[in-house]
Structure formats: structure tokens, C-alpha cells
Structure 1
Amino acid sequence: MSFDITSVFPYWLILLKGLGITIAFTSSCAVLGSLLGFTVALLRISPNRIVQGITSFYVQFFRGTPLLIQLFWVFFCFPVVFRIAIPPYASVVISLTLYMGAITCETFRGALKSISGEQHDACIALSLPPQAKILYVIFPQALLRAIPPLLSNVVSLFKESALISSVGVADLMFVGQSISNATAKPVEFLTAVAIIYFLVAFPLTRLVGLVESRFLKRFAY
């Protein structure tokens, strides 16, 4: 078997289209999951033990089970249990959002605990309603302090998104596998897919270190 990386070149537009779908799923689910994670983090520090128990179970379940199992359950089992037909794209959004929400919850919970008690006392002194306190005082500070781990979570989500090809979504991994099967050149195309993932993920990981070292240490604390 000969290795000929030039055989990938005629298919680069198809691979880029698959990359676009991967990035679209990653970005949308990262935003939705981060909002869910912040909400769950607020509920986890609630004095209500029932709320704490439910949210803790959600976080531990989705952090403690493989994402592939979660994808399969939503795609195959959810329609059977709830009698609702779910297209592959919707099952992917649900699965990735729930997964992202679970891993970002702990990020936001740590950021919320790092906010000093004086901030809460100031809100009480100013008679701010709970919604205004969370939206205008707590959330901006928590978001600023959570940016480095959030970016790391996005990178992890981007890499984990390769699993969505298992439910038939035409992302980068699915496209690469399909072309490699059709052309009988798995080494070339799977290598190309790995390089593309690296070229996207590596700058993001460098960005995490840059943000943490140059900006957040100055403004967040």
C-alpha cells in the first residue's frame, strides 16, 4: 500500500463542508450548554436540598457516562420512551448541549464561589432584585473568571463532536470515513481529518493560555 496524500486534494471542499457542520454544532451547543451550565450552577448552590440533589445527579450522570452512550440513548431510546420522533440533527444538539451543560456547571460553580461576599452584601444594600443581581452583578464576574476553563471545554466539545458521525450526521469525521471507504484510501483521508482537527483545536488551546496569562489575572481578581 502506497501513501499518497495528494489523493485528498480533490475532496477538500467536501471535507471543509463537513468541518463547517462540525463547527456549527460545536459553537451552537457550546453557547446553549454554557447557558444551561450557568443555570444549573445557580441551582446547585441553592439551599433547597431537593434542587441540589436533582442538579447534582444530572451533573454526575452526564460527566460520568460516555458521550457516545448519551448520543445513542437520545437517538435510539428517546423516541421509543417518549413516542416522539427526533431527527439526527436534533438528537445531536440535545446530547451535546446536555453534556456541555454538565461540564460547564462545575466551571461556573467554582467561579460563583470565588465571588466575594461583599458583592452580595452590596446588592442587598442597594435593594437589587434577585434577577438584576444575577444578570448585572454575578453573571459578568462569573463569566470573566470562567473564560479559560470554558474555552478548554469548547475545545473538548469540538474533539468529542467527532462521535456525532455515529448517528449519521455528515460532520467532518463522517465525511472523511465515507470518502475513505469509497476510495479505499483510509490512511490518507483519516490522516487528513486528524490534521484538520488539530489545526482547529491547537490555536484554541493556545488561546486559552494567552487569555489566562495576560488578561484574566489582571482583571478577574
Structure 2
Amino acid sequence: MQLDFSTVLPYWLVLLKGLGLTLAFTSSCAVIGSLAGFVLSLLRMSPSRWMKAATTLYVEFFRGTPLLIQLFWVFFCFPVVFRLPIPPYLSVVISLTLYMAAITSETFRGALKSISAEQHDACIALSLSPQAKILYVIFPQALLRAIPPFLSNIVSLFKESALISSVGVADLMFVGQNISNSTARPVEFLTTVAMIYFLVAFPLTRLVGVVETRFLRRFAY
């Protein structure tokens, strides 16, 4: 077999559409999951033992089980358990969001613990309400300190999103695999797909180091 990467060129628009769908799932689930993860991190630090235990169980379960199993469970079991038809796109959003919330909650929990006690004392001295304290004092500092691991979480979510092809969603991996099967050129197309994932993920991984060294050390601590 002779390699011929020119066979990829006629399909580049289709591959870009698959990449667009992958990025859409990644970005939307990252935003929703991160907001849910911040709420989870607050609940895990709650004085209520039941609330802390429930949220800890959720986080450890989704961090300790493969994302593929979570995706299959939502796709195949949700319609049976809740007796509601769930389209593949919605099952992908649910599973990726639940996973992102779990891994991001640990990021925010570490950032929240790094905030000094003087910040909380200052909020009490200023008679700030709990909502104002979280919104204007705690959340901005926690978000700033959580940026490097948060970006790493997004990169991980982007790479893990290749699993959604297993439920028939036409993302980049699904499109590349189908084209490679129909053209009998798996090496060319799967290599191209891998390079596209790399070209998107690598700049983000480098950005983590740049943000941490040039920005966070100056403003976060």
C-alpha cells in the first residue's frame, strides 16, 4: 500500500464540519459544566454532612468511571429509566456536561481553598451578604487561580469528545472514520484526524504555561 494524502483534499470541508461540531460540543459543555462545577465545589465545602457526602459521591463517581460508559449509560439507559426519548445530540451534551462538572469542581475546590481567611473576614467586616461575597469576592479570585487547570480540563474534554462518535454523532472522529472506511484509506484519514486534534489541542496546552507564568503569578496571589 502506497500512502497518498492527496486523497484527503476532496473531503476537507466535511472534516471541517466535523471539527466544528466537535468544538461546539466542547465549548458549550465546558461553559455549562464549569458553572455547575463551581456550584458543586461550594456544596462540597458545605457544613452539611449530607450535602457534602452527596456531592463528593457524584464527583468521585464521574471522575472514577470511564467517560465512554457514562456516555453509553445516558444514551441507552436514560430513555429506559425516564421513559423519554433522548436524541443522540442531547445525550452527548448531558454526559459531557456531567463529566466536565465533576472534574472542574475539583479545580474550583482547590482554588477556593487557596483563598486566605482574611478575605472571608473582610467580607464579614463589610457586612456583605453571602451572595455578594461569592459573586464579587470569592468567584473572581477562584476563577483567576483556576485558569491553568481549567484550560487543561478543556483540552481533556476536547480529546475525550472523540468518544461521541460511538453513538452516531457526526463529529470529527465519526466523519474521519466513515470516510476512511468508504475510501479504504484508513492511514491517511485517521492520521489527518489525529493531526487536526493535535493542532487544536497543542496551542491550548502551551497557553496554560503562558497564562500561568506571565499573568497569574502577577495578579492571582
TM-score, length-scaled by structure 1? 0.99
2:181 is aligned to 181
2:203 is aligned to 203
Q: Secondary structure at the match of 1:96?
A: helix
Within-5 A mapping of 1:1-221: 1-221=1-221
Using the TM superposition, give the Cα deviation of residue 126 of structure 1 relative to its aligned residue in structure 2, in angstroms. Answer: 1.1
Using the TM superposition, give the Cα deviation of residue 69 of structure 1 relative to its aligned residue in structure 2, in angstroms. Answer: 0.1
In the alignment of these two chains, the number of paired residues is 221
CA deviations over 1:118-162 (Å, ceiling 9, x no partner): 111111111111111101110000000000000000000000000
**Runs of 4+ with >2 A deviation:** none
One-letter amino acid of the counterpart of residue 71, structure 1: L
Q: Secondary structure at the match of 1:32?
A: helix
Q: Secondary structure at the match of 1:46?
A: coil
One-letter amino acid of the counterpart of residue 87, structure 1: P
Aligned residues with identical type, % of pairs: 81
Using the TM superposition, give the Cα deviation of residue 186 of structure 1 relative to its aligned residue in structure 2, in angstroms. Answer: 0.7
Q: Distance in 1 between matches of 2:97 and 2:169?
A: 16
Q: Distance in 1 between matches of 2:53 and 2:145?
A: 26
One-letter amino acid of the counterpart of residue 107, structure 1: T
One-letter amino acid of the counterpart of residue 151, structure 2: L
Q: Distance in 2 between matches of 1:90 and 1:125?
A: 46
Q: Distance in 2 between matches of 1:150 and 1:205?
A: 11
Using the TM superposition, give the Cα deviation of residue 81 of structure 1 relative to its aligned residue in structure 2, in angstroms. Answer: 0.6
Q: What are the ranges of 5 or more consecutive residues in structure 2 without an aligned counterpart?
A: none
Using the TM superposition, give the Cα deviation of residue 111 of structure 1 relative to its aligned residue in structure 2, in angstroms. Answer: 0.2
Superposed CA RMSD: 0.5
